[in-house]
Amino acid sequence: MTRFLITGHAGFIGFHTARRLLDDGHDVVGIDSVNAYYDPQLKRDRLNELSDRPKLVSHEFSIEDAGRLKETFEEHRPEIVVHLAAQAGVRYSIEQPESYVRANLVGTCNVLEAARWNPVRHLMLASSSSVYGMNTKVPFSETDKADNPVSLYAATKKATEALSHSYAHLYGIPTTAFRFFTVYGPWGRPDMALFKFVRAIEQGEPIDVYGGGEMRRDFTYIDDLVAAILRLSDIVPQAGESVGEFDTLSPVAPHRVVNLGGGTPVGLLDFIGAVESAVGKNAKRNILPMQPGDVVQTSADPSLLTALTGEAPPATAVEDGVRAFVEWWRAYQARATQP
């Protein structure tokens, strides 16, 4: 079994990743600040779901605390690091840019420094499809130019990729950066569209539909994403081991960037239709223009992921994924209202 360290293990993706690893018998060290970007109780409840796992060691502090982070690496000596802790959200980055600089740049640099002084077999870290900006070529390939971010969040994620590449080159840290595509599912974040839509429709309130409803997203179900992360954890970037001209393996470092998405974008109105079907009610729609920092479409080219893992990425149908979220949401709300 392998010892993993996950930053952000009380977060949406971190929680699911930790749970799957623990289910598979691995040792997991988790770090999370349990901050108040959204309701900390949801994060506490995620951690409570993992509290009976003897192979989990949880630490509560911010990755901006370089000293504490270094001590944790030294104490636990992780073999694989999955760095997911970050300040999330495109729109919030317009309101609170400083928090993105602290968490996504300073915090990531601290993780890289800790991995530098405590060598790991594989460093895996979260980037985002938002780095593609307003690219009109679809699907998005990892080799496409991604130098024109349209939100501060996207800029910090692109910087994460650049920082990790330099560390991989200078200190030989094998690194894979993931570009996530609109991840959704049970235990998701309250600031995400699915959570907002379900809550509003259940309560008979209107939902805000931006971009006139014409946007398209490559929705990725959380279980599919975690499965891809786990498969890639054993595929450690090595010099000279390219899988083709579409590979992003660096010529000067053990560093690779990989899309984690199925390449099947869904229209926003179709997504809302799936939500209405799962909830059993029609939504009252408040049609609005595009918001600053948003993009019209995201679509992943999964060719590199397929070549690396030897199989096509799993692709849960949106209707099934949304239904699973609604079932979880209702159960979670019922539990929260119990005396």
Evaluate if pTM is beyond 0.75: yes
Domains and CATH numbers, the chain: 3-184+220-263+299-316 (3.40.50.720)
Report pLDDT digits (tens) over 28-72: 999 999 998 899 999 999 999 999 999 999 999 999 999 999 999
Structure-block tokens of residue 215: 């946007």
d(CA 250, CA 165): 8
Q: How far apart are CA 81 and CA 63, in angstroms?
A: 13
More confident residue, 263 or 192: 192
Catalytic residue among 153, 167, 184, 221: 153
- Pure H helices in 97-208: 97-100, 107-117, 152-171, 193-202
What is the per-residue pLDDT across 186-240, written as a single tens digit (0 to 9) for each? 999 999 999 999 999 999 999 999 888 888 999 999 999 999 999 999 999 998 8
Reduced to 3 states (helix: H, G, I; strand: E, B; else coil), residue 108 is helix
Active site residue 153: yes
**pLDDT the model gives residue 293:** 67
